[in-house]
Structure 1
């Protein structure tokens, strides 16, 4: 897939020109209906805070735990219902929930069970309860969601429609589409598309933003259906759908957000190279003019991923066909940023968190961002979960950027590129970023050396297919 060059105006900065909207970013709830209060929360087995959790080193179990599972969560466990609900209950102390324009949910509702503990009925139960709860808690604010790798059965598996006359996973897409339509987040045609296209959809918000939701299991390594006919990077058609949507947005002069679950880069352990190289090419074609934001989940951490433009000499022609070497990236031209949402689930050794954005209602750029968190290390002392303000992005990072950052400028790819420069110059900035990654967990690893700062920032290339500069 090769696109015509981006319009000449695409590289021009889009200044904010409207009022701010409040947009909530939730991710990775991993609600655990089997959470066992008082069981072993410091286990060496698959999943702690379960009746069968044991610590083989300390010889403890659910009946005699070394660390009893709090009713409100533990660092090595999925979310108990009381923690999951408390995220919503905490919000009125920080902002007026009725002023939320819309929310994005970047995937993973279902708990981290072993395959032999899962069933279709279990997935249906978790998804139904979760989205009904979101609807009740957020009143009339739409929630635009995407599938996580755990939100299917068997987990991480999604097959292209071309494999069989009836997709074996259609029951899940149809269920989610019906839940989203019944909540009035999608209309009938949008829901029909989601039901027949892997839960993917595109919707225009009441404010005029186009939200494009992708099923990123089609570039996830754990999806076995991605490992045949690998010469085709888009067997499902998800990326063709994305490109068509962005072309239509460009023609309408409409800005778009792309939401997904499994991020397209970072440590290289999750995405396949060919489809994410194609995704990167799509981003480079449509950012920054059309794409205002990319949002992912999956890592459970509060992270950012920067996309850069390609070098002018990255394309070449063989037998009349144009190709691009996607490793030839111009690190002086940041064009897009992916905001990776912090998880509500504590697993692994993290605090719980969520993010509120202030979004310009004409450009749909992120103008402000705050993270709120619950310190799970204190959960055994709580009578109810205690949530606190963690940090404001502009306030935390503007002072460390050389020359500062204008108060009217968005928190875009250029902003985060300048943060990476500050991290390389001053390890205290890298430590601050590392602490915020874990939502200020007490077990945040130290990042107070130049080598650690470089690991946080340095771009990586995998299989000569794609390159990212990553925070």
Structure 2
């Protein structure tokens, strides 16, 4: 089964071919496209976008040079390529090519990539040398000297604590239908238009399904009811990706509706509790399309940023009016939570390799990182502490962007006391080390699991306990507790139950959750297979379908 990321990359690729055909002036006939697909012997392409496939399609591009075909003709050609190469089902191909039309014409017409550059951009430098529109670039740090690092002291017994709810990757599928085909062959299944499977065992479960299916409304409502009735918390962090994975059939109106409806859920079930959101890569239509501010007209992203501001500022009152400027500039913001604690929400789509607008210029899109430095410096000056929210974890971003972000975190390690991200649907963490020696742990990125079961995990949410609001507080994370919904049990009993999966301190025998403590945990993983396998189980949110040998273990420890 193809992932949405692969489907998105293939769509970009086939559109590149279609755009090159548009530019060439030589009509490419259906028979030629089918002949290329047959000759390439890529019958397994639906399972894996390979480097070889990329270069075959890039060869089509390279063979075509300049012309005046209409956009409608390009869509038709792109659709034929998608179908002939079995990139997706015919139904998805016909919808996907239309979905991506405006973005691809906006990015790629007049912007030609060689086959190697193209494949490297999509698949990475293991396939070919990627296109580099930006070369190396660096943010500018202020001349203010980094203050001495002070390790936070454990709070005294009985000190006030905050409880923060973290939700990520809700991926609400409003077309989810119990009993629908869960093995439909598309990127996303279990939907009302997938029909009934011939084998009843392949029907979607009432409370969700592990097989490439997103979150049914009944699970979202059950989660909200459970949280309202059984949990106490002071704040909510939501780290992006509200819509489903039907990336071939989304409109701007669909995405805005989901944003409004999810906002309504929080207002209904948690009145008076502030929710701090970060924008995910699935919030846009098409997916991953986040043009920088200089892109105007029909390809502008202001339609989404305006809806975010309307929901979070005007309607819910979670954010003050002064956050509107940067939200409209680039989908990021900062605000005070309590005296001494500031939240910064980043738009990580400006570090996303699949955001093809960055192929034009990736240098600090929207000035976000330079803005971040300014906010952190002001926070340091007045001794505020900062929680950073984002969607895509820093370690999964474009290399140059990540290097600059790493430099910023290193400089402001005493100001940034916690980072919260999502996107990967799994439960894990990243450790930052000092830039000079790469030996002293300085910061932790908490990557919470997803609400969606897509793919092969149980739905989850996380609760953090944080040093609370009192004079001298550190605002650091003291412990976190992950809760899961076992889909198998829920579908068998029709009694969904959100159960505590683990506490970080108890599971890993931690004194505290400072960066140095997390480094000790990782060292324990290296020597203690039982401890590592505990982490491996939690990584998949207690739905483990694969084994993990020594090579797997080594790759996960350094991922």
TM-score by length of 1: 0.83
**Structure 1 counterpart of 2:344:** 212
User: Is 1:109 aligned to residue 242 of structure 2?
Assistant: yes
**Structure 2 counterpart of 1:259:** 389
Q: Distance in 2 between matches of 1:375 and 1:307?
A: 32
**Structure 1 counterpart of 2:530:** 428
Residue from 461, 482, 490 that aligns with 1:371:
482
User: Is 1:35 aligned to residue 173 of structure 2?
Assistant: no
**Structure 2 counterpart of 1:437:** 539
Q: Distance in 2 between matches of 1:279 and 1:10?
A: 20
Q: Distance in 2 between matches of 1:241 and 1:137?
A: 34
**Per-residue deviation, residues 211-237 of structure 1 (Å, max 9, x unmatched):** 00011100101101111234x2x0321
Q: Distance in 2 between matches of 1:167 and 1:44?
A: 31
What displacement does 1:7 show?
A: 4.8
What displacement does 1:149 show?
A: 0.3
- Considering fraction of residues, name the structure with more strand: 1
Q: Distance in 2 between matches of 1:144 and 1:351?
A: 24
User: Is 1:121 aligned to residue 222 of structure 2?
Assistant: no
1:197-346 residue pairs with structure 2 within 5 A? Answer: 197-230=329-362, 232=363, 234-265=364-395, 270-287=396-413, 289-311=414-436, 330=438, 332-346=439-453
**Per-residue deviation, residues 368-427 of structure 1 (Å, max 9, x unmatched):** 1101100112232232422111111100101xxxxxx43xx4x12211111110000111
Q: Distance in 2 between matches of 1:247 and 1:396?
A: 36
Q: Is the 8 A contact 1:160 1:235 kept in 2?
A: yes
Counterpart secondary structure, 1:47: coil
What displacement does 1:352 show?
A: 0.5
Q: Distance in 1 between matches of 2:228 and 2:265?
A: 16
Counterpart secondary structure, 1:25: strand
User: Is 1:66 aligned to residue 201 of structure 2?
Assistant: yes
Number of residue equivalences: 412
Q: Distance in 2 between matches of 1:434 and 1:442?
A: 8
Q: Is the 8 A contact 1:6 1:286 kept in 2?
A: no
Q: Distance in 2 between matches of 1:383 and 1:395?
A: 31
Q: Is the 8 A contact 2:171 2:241 kept in 1?
A: yes
**Structure 1 counterpart of 2:141:** 3
Q: Is the 8 A contact 2:247 2:287 kept in 1?
A: no
RMSD (Å), alpha carbons: 2.0
Q: Distance in 2 between matches of 1:9 and 1:247?
A: 11
Q: What runs of 5+ residues in structure 2 fail to find an aligned partner?
A: 1-138
Structure 1 or 2, whichever has the larger Rg, is: 2
Counterpart secondary structure, 1:82: helix
- Considering fraction of residues, name the structure with more helix: 2
Q: Distance in 1 between matches of 2:180 and 2:487?
A: 16
Residue from 204, 210, 213 that aligns with 1:75:
210
Q: Distance in 1 between matches of 2:361 and 2:486?
A: 46
Q: Is the 8 A contact 1:30 1:108 kept in 2?
A: yes
Q: Is the 8 A contact 2:180 2:203 kept in 1?
A: yes
Q: Is the 8 A contact 1:47 1:53 kept in 2?
A: no
* Residue 146 to residue 356, structure 1, CA distance change in 2 (3 Å): same
Q: Is the 8 A contact 2:146 2:412 kept in 1?
A: no
Q: What runs of 5+ residues in structure 1 fail to find an aligned partner?
A: 55-60, 312-328, 399-404, 459-469
Q: Distance in 2 between matches of 1:310 and 1:342?
A: 28
What displacement does 1:87 show?
A: 1.5
Q: Distance in 2 between matches of 1:192 and 1:180?
A: 13
Counterpart secondary structure, 1:161: coil
What displacement does 1:206 show?
A: 3.0
Q: Distance in 2 between matches of 1:114 and 1:170?
A: 20
* Residue 454 to residue 19, structure 1, CA distance change in 2 (3 Å): same
Q: Which moved more, 1:364-373 or 1:4-13?
A: 4-13
Q: Distance in 2 between matches of 1:43 and 1:122?
A: 23
Q: Distance in 1 between matches of 2:422 and 2:188?
A: 20
* Residue 111 to residue 342, structure 1, CA distance change in 2 (3 Å): same
What displacement does 1:153 show?
A: 1.4
User: Is 1:179 aligned to residue 305 of structure 2?
Assistant: no
**Per-residue deviation, residues 259-302 of structure 1 (Å, max 9, x unmatched):** 1101111xxxx521111111111111111x10011111000111
User: Is 1:164 aligned to residue 302 of structure 2?
Assistant: no
Q: Distance in 1 between matches of 2:514 and 2:541?
A: 21
User: Is 1:136 aligned to residue 268 of structure 2?
Assistant: yes
Q: Is the 8 A contact 1:79 1:345 kept in 2?
A: yes
**Per-residue deviation, residues 304-331 of structure 1 (Å, max 9, x unmatched):** 01111112xxxxxxxxxxxxxxxxx51x
Residue from 501, 506, 530 that aligns with 1:390:
501
Q: Distance in 1 between matches of 2:458 and 2:150?
A: 39
Q: Distance in 1 between matches of 2:210 and 2:453?
A: 5
What displacement does 1:9 show?
A: 4.2
Counterpart secondary structure, 2:378: helix
Q: Is the 8 A contact 1:103 1:144 kept in 2?
A: yes
Q: Is the 8 A contact 1:39 1:63 kept in 2?
A: no
Q: Is the 8 A contact 2:210 2:453 kept in 1?
A: yes
